[in-house]
A and B are shown apart, each in its own frame.
Chain A
Amino acid sequence: GIQVEQSPPDLILQEGANSTLRCNFSDSVNNLQWFHQNPWGQLINLFYIPSGTKQNGRLSATTVATERYSLLYISSSQTTDSGVYFCAAVNTDKLIFGTGTRLQVFP
């Protein structure tokens, strides 16, 4: 089956810094989603991005489907950005999750 890998596994930033999270997938996928999981476990939808680039405020994402990777950019990070970021590839209607990137933002 499809494998989804995320890097880095952990990221520690000071408030105001920028960061790039990467998601690699092993085979062609029909779609890709990025989520932020808050400390209470809620998965919050960030982007639904099968290809191309999307932006939402300080966050943006780019998926290059032909090269099987996606990037999530966080600019001017804030403490509220802390949590775990997951990418998930859509395969036959089910989501295959990566292992996540744990982000900690300190003031």
Chain B
Amino acid sequence: DAGVTQSPTHLIKTRGQQVTLRCSPKSGHDTVSWYQQALGQGPQFIFQYYEEEERQRGNFPDRFSGHQFPNYSSELNVNALLLGDSALYLCASSPLSESYEQYFGPGTRLTVT
């Protein structure tokens, strides 16, 4: 049973560029959440997707957007990259319910220069 997968593993971008990160959820899971983890901090919730729609969103600007596909996989897009967007981006999947635990992928480490 494959767990949550993310790609790419590492990415280096320049300020002002755009980036797309990808996530495939664990088998049987239909809900995908994205988190940003800055160095030395705990992960911060960006947004959550269910049934191809953004279900809820954290305190992140509109430069951060996402998409969920019919096969439940998801993308995170960040436009107009800032140096402060450098972080580890984590994807988590679960069934849609607070009664289920969330499982995380290995993350994508984004560096903005």
Binding site for B on A (CB under 8 A): 4, 30-31, 33, 35, 40-43, 45, 48, 86, 88, 90, 92-100
Contacts and interface: CB of A to CB of B under 8 A. Distances in A.
Interface of B: 31, 33, 35, 37, 41-45, 48, 55-56, 58, 88, 90, 92, 96-99, 101-104, 106-107, 109
Given A40-B106, A41-B107, A93 B101 contact: no
A92 B56 contact: yes
A4 B103 CA distance: 19
Contacts of A43: 43, 90, 104
A58 B84 CA distance: 39
B98 A90 contact: yes
Contact of B56 (A35, A40, A94, A98): A94
A99 B38 CA distance: 11
Contacts of A41: 37, 88, 90, 106-107, 109
Given A33-B102, A45-B104, 9 more contacts: A31-B99, A40-B106, A42-B104, A43-B104, A86-B42, A90-B98, A93-B33, A95-B102, A97-B42
21 contacts: A4-B42, A41-B107, A41-B109, A43-B104, A45-B103, A45-B104, A86-B42, A90-B98, A92-B56, A93-B55, A94-B48, A95-B35, A95-B43, A95-B92, A95-B102, A96-B45, A97-B42, A97-B43, A97-B44, A99-B42, A100-B42
B43 A94 contact: no
